[in-house]
Amino acid sequence: MMRVLVTGGAGGIGLAIARRFHAEGHRVLIGDVDRDGIDKALAAHPGMVGARCDVSQVSEIDALFESVSTHLGGLDVLVNNVGIGGPTAPADELPSADWRAVMDINLTGTFEVTQRAIPLLKASAGTIITLSSAAGRYGYPNRIAYATSKWGLIGFTKTLAMELGPFDVTANAILPGAVGGERFDRVIAGRATVSGRSVAEETALGLASQSLKRIVPPEHVADLALFLTTPAGRSISGAALPIDCDLQHG
């Protein structure tokens, strides 16, 4: 039985991952800024535990790891899923405060969580899984803060793999593309607002470059995360693994 922490675990991909590990009988703690979302997730999945945490606040991250100690007694798997997209705007119109907000959560918050998890993962020879994005492989017009943060998480992951390999700790990044759910709907709506095209047109454009003309279910991302904790998956470290229906952007 593994002890698993999923940040941003109250909805979307994070909740799908938490559900997958919980269904396999593992002990799961979700951290999220959304208290109502946590309560709903826990009510639907008896035995799962949760803690409210805004990863831009160091004091709340410290409290999250007090919950890890109390409820899990250690850690085998860290899933760094927390992240925000920021507004849809060209670089020359993006307010500096919005740039900083994305970096504070997507990069600095992920660093702060991981830094506290490392001693626990060294003790268990554990696994780090960080959710980057297809936007971590190519440019993303009108989402410069988001794309920059997701590229940064690739370097973060590869460096962790090199530093922690001697302790048998693996670190990999998952790069989802278009994943179904409320967040995807918001992104498409934002693109439509900027471009003047309809939501249907923006969805079609998003799928046009894909080999498989479909949106990835969040459960498929969860399956990949679980695989990375298996014996075969733990022979992989330092990888950036796309799950995006084969976007043709290099």
Residue 80: Cβ-neighbour burial (10 angstroms; 0-12, 13-18, 19+): buried
Question: How many alpha carbons lie under 13 Å from residue 95 in its C-beta half-sphere?
Answer: 5
78 vs 131: CA distance, rounded Å:
11
Q: Which residues are catalytic?
A: 146
Q: Is 28 helix (H, G, I), strand (E, B) or coil?
A: strand
What is the Cα–Cα distance from 106 to 126, expressed in whole angstroms? Answer: 22
Name the burial class of residue 214, with classes exposed (0-12), middle (13-18) and buried (19+) by CB atoms within 10 angstroms of its CB: exposed
Torsion of CA 130, 132, 134, 138, to 10 degrees: -130
